[in-house]
Structure 1
Amino acid sequence: MTCSAAISACGAACKWQLALRLLSETLDQSISPDQVMYSSVISACASGSQPDRSIQLIQAMSTVSVRPNDVCYTAAALACKTAGDWPGVLHLVRGMRQHALVPSEIIYEAAVTVLEQAGKVHMPQEFLDLLGRRAEQSMSFTKTLR
């Protein structure tokens, strides 16, 4: 519990490198990290604009038998949104589907925003298939507001 709190504090202070080091030390000591610990590290990486590291952490969770939850995916999606990484958001949505998780409104908003920033007039068909009609409606609504 103390390590999770320390990692959370690292995220709040935008010290993603330290959060990663604490996670690594936890693994080296044969302590089993949980979803809370991973989501804290992913959030720290998101705060530090590290979308690739956030995605890598989600992928690494399976190696220690920890199933990513929606909090982990949301934090990583926000990192991708900040970095303008729409392929990263698409990758995360695929992962959510593989883990039988439903994308949240935050994920939809991140997807729409990052696609608009990339100059995508229409959402790629794969995105529509993964996110469903809700994402397309969100994108249309956002355009209407402008």
Structure 2
Amino acid sequence: MQELKNQNRFDLVGVVLSEALEAGGAKVSPREFTTGISACATARNWQLAVQLFDLMHKARVAANAYCHNATISACEKGGQWQLAVHLFDSMRKAMVDADVISYNATISACEKDGQWQQAMQLFGSMLKAKVDADVISYSATISACEK
């Protein structure tokens, strides 16, 4: 999977993961899904990233924070702020702890579409959750308020 990403063969990522799962004998790890989803984010293919995330759930592979963050990031890069927020919320429902990357990617998705109220709400929940905000957190939140 990493080799496909290194070769910029993002078009084959979904195919390889699907075939590995269909073969039945191959166990696909959360790390391999994360690599695939990250490759889709790099290629700005949020649709395939979300499909892989859904495939992961169908295959009963537990999504960790890295998988969620990669999918949220793909949505952020694709301008899909509502989907990014939905994925962020599903993360909490799945009892996966959101980290600074989770918050930053979701806040940035809101910022890109001028969703300042949602960005402020996320920033507030970040502080309540005692997740340390960084320069990206502040910058994206302030930028959302400027739009």
Q: 1:141 & 1:9 partners in 2: Cα distance? A: 35
Aligned length: 136
Correspondence 1:85-100 to 2 at 5 A: 85-100=80-95
Q: What is residue 134 of structure 1 aligned with on the other side?
A: 127
Moved over 3 A (4+): 137-141
Q: Report if aligned partners of 1:14, 1:47 keep a CA contact under 8 Å in 2.
A: no
Which of residues 69, 74, 78 in structure 1 aligns to 2:73?
Answer: 78
Q: Percent identity?
A: 24
TM-score (norm 1): 0.78
Q: Report if aligned partners of 2:40, 2:48 keep a CA contact under 8 Å in 1.
A: yes
Q: What is residue 50 of structure 1 aligned with on the other side?
A: 45
Q: Secondary structure at the match of 2:117?
A: coil
Give the CA deviation at 1:128.
4.0
Q: What is residue 59 of structure 2 aligned with on the other side?
A: 64
Give the CA deviation at 1:35.
0.9
Q: 2:88 & 2:78 partners in 1: Cα distance? A: 16
Correspondence 1:15-34 to 2 at 5 A: 15-30=9-24, 31-34=26-29
TM-score (norm 2): 0.77
Give the CA deviation at 1:124.
6.8
Give the CA deviation at 1:134.
2.8
Q: Specify whether residues 134 and 15 from structure 1 end up closer, same or farther in structure 2 by C-alpha distance, changes over 3 A only.
A: farther
Amino acid at match of 2:138: F
Q: How large is the RMSD of aligned CA atoms in angstroms?
A: 2.8
Q: 2:118 & 2:48 partners in 1: Cα distance? A: 25
Q: Specify whether residues 111 and 33 from structure 1 end up closer, same or farther in structure 2 by C-alpha distance, changes over 3 A only.
A: same
Q: 1:65 & 1:94 partners in 2: Cα distance? A: 19
Q: Report if aligned partners of 1:90, 1:111 keep a CA contact under 8 Å in 2.
A: yes
Q: Report if aligned partners of 2:75, 2:83 keep a CA contact under 8 Å in 1.
A: yes
Q: Secondary structure at the match of 1:66?
A: coil
